[in-house]
Structure 1
């Protein structure tokens, strides 16, 4: 490399970092004004002084960049093969973010950023599951309602081990996501490690278009009372307005109580959940607190004069994360509303996107969110006020048939799953301890007959797949929803 090229490379590296810091502080300043709008005490002079301090910090940081620039130059001039500037620069950014050991901070190139925007704004193509990096493992937070991921049986806390036979170990989260996503109609094979299951679970999933309809409405009449049910599958740009529209309709019908269902909701946009909370939490009580990197806490208030005149219950489970948890814990603490279900996922941080100027973006953890009482639920989750699990078959694992079918007088963990699934579908079995007895064989034959399968009383791969499909349809139809039943019981009393 000649001197001109070397200096050009140095300019490229330095310009990337200057551009990044400049945009980053622009975002910081914008966030300060957003906090001001919600009542935090500050002044224009304070903001100007803070910005001046940050500009001094830029100069200090640039002095520390010499080691990075030297590494860039050494690699460019001495590596055995040609290396693109972009590869080294993006690798450096990814390396810095990786050193944070924060699964929610990541670098997104231009293509990935476009996909990220699609997922928030309208629809996208893929399997339909929110993922996170937990303990170095690509982990399912929650499958999206009615998505291929949900239909295939993916569950919260499943760990993705391989994609199409290739290990995801060593990949960052976005690289793994890019391998899982794909065009509608294409198939992807995943190996899953599920907590409590010894063997890996293999799933083949056909990708589809994932529409982001996020608000679903239903009503139940119990003891002469009309109960509204609003299910939120994520918090996207239109969720708050759609929620308000459906809530108004329910109130006009004379609703006697409301259930907000955020089970399996992986979260989304912070401003969206804030808009929802402003509809419920009156102005005397904060609906949320935000802690910035300096430890300064800002409390957020609505302008609402009084709370609703009907009871509200929130439904959560282990797949409820982030904005879902904000909603649940805020209604729980600010209004003493009941929360029914199981302990939620436990994500208590807020990310901001920082444009890099070339279409790429850094998604960086910037704040902690705290409950109205100042509690941080990160890695702990929101505990329900009324714990209620679902029936055992909701937690059953797909049956894996490797060689010979499951048959009479065998013992295997897969047979225990089989018995739980058959029982859940209404086929009587005498035991669910993993021993394939006569009652299990009879139940299998009855299931096979009802589903136009050869009634052998043995479970081959075809029977296992039909059984899984029927069970997922049973679950999606809301059969035996003990958590909803408990919420209805509470709200009508």
Structure 2
């Protein structure tokens, strides 16, 4: 049997792959809440269960659906024979498929024609050129889930929940998620202009992002000395094909160096390969405990059980935020529910469905939601997210909107852009004394002090050059761990 692609996220990444797995791992089968059978299933048996969920056949013969398809066939032939202009037959067929998928009102199920499917598969490479963010289709709008750390998207000021309205001045209403992503991607060094609708900001923002090569190095580790203890720190930026292997290597190295505790940081992590998060769960989730559960349309559940031989004897704390999605949520929920560990930060994104790509025979593919994933305890987090055990927000300047300086910001002006500039000035050590959006004398003095310190023309006004430099200095402040309140709280918890 041919194994098809099975996707956990369905948050489509602009600069990193979305993953696939060959099999689900291990299982107890449930109907509702009561166990009806407990067994170990082979890889082939699991894939047969997946195929059964798809209808039990790899190919569906239209002859079996003759009555149901009669209305569609009648519409097709009427259009082909009687429409005032001769239609494109292929476009009619593709339109019918797209219409069926749209009727599901599921933003993660979509049709990809042969070209789009080919480009989508190319995006699974180890690196490619883009902006470094992942997006989702929410309420019909292409929405930023999270920019990657130190990516062009982060440097430009994109934030979770930003909604993309236009790409290079073109309205994207009606585009599928994949089509929008392919427009945003592009050659390294080129610029894409995104028109953004940001919650809480009345006017649209135009944000220029310079595309770059986005490498896929998904695991970063170090030892942090804190309160006389050695704390291992593992940051996971996504769950790619080799993330579990890299996680095990780095965790082993940390343990050999001697650690008293561990912090796992999945902030801004969009998810990825389901197999990857399962393999990581087998390294840190108590043996015999569920890492996650997969639920089909009939409510039957398959549980992935941790095979860890010896429980970890040091404390673990994970850190999440609103950009942590899918596989990140699986891992944090398992640490919280099965491991009894603290989770620090803010409620995660809330992506709780599983998609699978299904080839259509001509290079095109359907990407279709087939399952829900549930947490270790069986909780559905879709559109809800994983709640932290210890809620910690970052300083206000972490969330400030970028300044649009199409026209200089000047004395006596009152606007949201002035308010953003005041927050930035205060964060970078040039406190204007107010953050209400009114450009007063104190703001002029703060701008002049900033310009003088940065070697800019001292005008007391915020033009493009000053706005850009202010944004750069702010990013440096955001990346300074002294300002990372979530990491600080995690260190306090893990050191006891």
Common topology (TM > 0.5): yes
Task: After TM superposition, give the deviation of residue 463 of structure 1 in Å.
Answer: 1.2
* 3-state DSSP of counterpart to 2:234: strand
**Aligned-partner Cα distance in 2 for 1:293–1:93:** 21
| 1:218 and 2:232 correspond | no
Structure 2 stretches lacking a partner, 5+ long: 8-19, 30-37
State the alpha-carbon separation in 1 of the partners of residues 48 and 406 from structure 2.
64
Q: Partner of 2:430 in structure 1? A: 427
Of 277, 287, 290 in structure 1, the residue corresponding to residue 291 of structure 2 is: 287
In the superposition, the TM-score normalised over structure 2's length comes to 0.88
After TM superposition, the structure 1 = structure 2 runs for residues 181-192 of structure 1, keeping only pairs within 5 Å, are 181-192=185-196
Q: Aligned partners of 1:52, 1:159: CA distance in 2, in Å? A: 33
**Shift of residue 37, structure 1, vs aligned partner:** 4.3
Deviations 1:398-455 (A, max 9, x none): 112343x222333222222111111111223322122223322221111111222111
Runs of 4+ in 1 over 6 A off after TM superposition: 22-28, 46-49
Match of 2:491 among 485, 488, 492: 488
Once the two structures are superposed, residues 287-336 of structure 1 have per-residue CA deviations (whole angstroms, 9 ceiling, x without a partner) of 11110121101222122123211111111001111111111111100011
In structure 2, what is the equivalent of residue 448 of structure 1?
451
Provide the rounded CA distance (Å) in 2 between the counterparts of 1:197 and 1:445: 26
Per the alignment, residue 77 of structure 1 pairs with 81
Kindly indicate whether the alpha-carbon contact (under 8 Å) linking 2:3 and 2:22 is maintained by their aligned counterparts in 1.
no
Q: CA deviation at 1:60?
A: 4.1
Counterpart Cα distance in 2 of 1:51 and 1:415:
55
CA contact (8 A) 1:24 1:355 kept: no
**1:468 maps to which of 466, 471, 476:** 471
What corresponds to 2:16 in structure 1?
none
| Cα separation, 1, equivalents of 2:94 and 2:346 | 40
Q: Is the 8 A contact 1:24 1:354 kept in 2?
A: no
* 1:197 partnered with 2:201: yes
CA deviations 1:163-211 (Å, max 9, x no partner) are 1111111222122212212222222111000001111110111212211
C-alpha separation in 1, matches of 2:462 and 2:488: 33
TM-score (norm. length: structure 1): 0.88
CA distance in 1, matches of 2:242, 2:55: 38
1:11 aligned partner: none
Q: CA RMSD in A?
A: 2.8
1:328 aligns to what? 332
Task: Give matches, 1:127-146, under 5 Å.
Answer: 127-146=131-150
Output one character per residue of 1:249-292: Cα deviation in whole Å (capped at 9) or x when no partner: 10110011111111111111111111111111123211111101
- Distance in 2 (alpha carbons) for counterparts of 1:27 and 1:202: 36
Q: CA deviation at 1:53?
A: 7.4
Contact 1:237 1:269 in 2 (8 A): yes
Q: Kindly state the Cα deviation for residue 80 of structure 1 after the two structures are TM-superposed.
A: 3.6
Is the Cα–Cα contact under 8 Å of residues 132 and 152 in structure 2 kept in the other structure?
A: yes
Q: CA deviation at 1:68?
A: 2.0
Does residue 458 in structure 1 map to residue 461 in structure 2? Answer: yes
Match of 1:392 in 2: 396
Q: Secondary structure at the match of 1:401?
A: coil
Confirm whether residue 230 of structure 1 aligns to residue 225 of structure 2. Answer: no
Instruction: Report the Cα offset of residue 75 of structure 1.
Output: 2.4
1:437 is matched with 440
Verify the 8 A CA contact 2:165 2:195 in the aligned structure 1: yes
- Between the aligned partners of 1:344 and 1:140, the Cα distance in structure 2 is 14
Q: What is the distance in 2 between the residues matched to 1:26 and 1:491?
A: 38
Partner of 2:99: 95
- Contact persistence 2:403–2:421 (CA under 8 A): yes
1:172 to 162, 167, 176: 176
Preserved CA contact (<8 Å) 1:256 1:310:
yes
Q: Is the 8 A contact 1:27 1:354 kept in 2?
A: no
Tell me, in whole angstroms, the C-alpha distance in 1 between the residues paired with 2:166 and 2:401: 18
Partner of 2:32: none
Change (3 A) 1:482 1:51: closer
Rate the CA distance shift 1:244–1:117 in 2: closer, same or farther, 3 A: farther
Find out whether 1:241 has 2:230 as its counterpart: no
> Does structure 1 residue 338 correspond to structure 2 residue 342?
yes
- 1:105–1:362 contact (8 Å) kept in structure 2: yes
Do residues 206 (structure 1) and 234 (structure 2) align?
no
Structure 2 CA distance for partners of 1:256 and 1:160, relative to 1, 3 Å:
same
Conservation of the 8 A alpha-carbon contact between 1:286 and 1:301: yes
Query: In the TM superposition, what whole-angstrom CA distance separates every residue of 1:38-60 from its partner, at most 9, and x where no partner exists?
Result: 3544787x969969974698554
Give the match for residue 14 of structure 2: none
Structure 1: which 5+ runs fail to align? 1-21
Q: Pick which of 115-124 and 345-354 moved more.
A: 115-124
How many residue pairs align between the two structures?
A: 469
**Counterparts in 2 of 1:34 and 1:208: CA distance versus 1, 3 Å:** closer
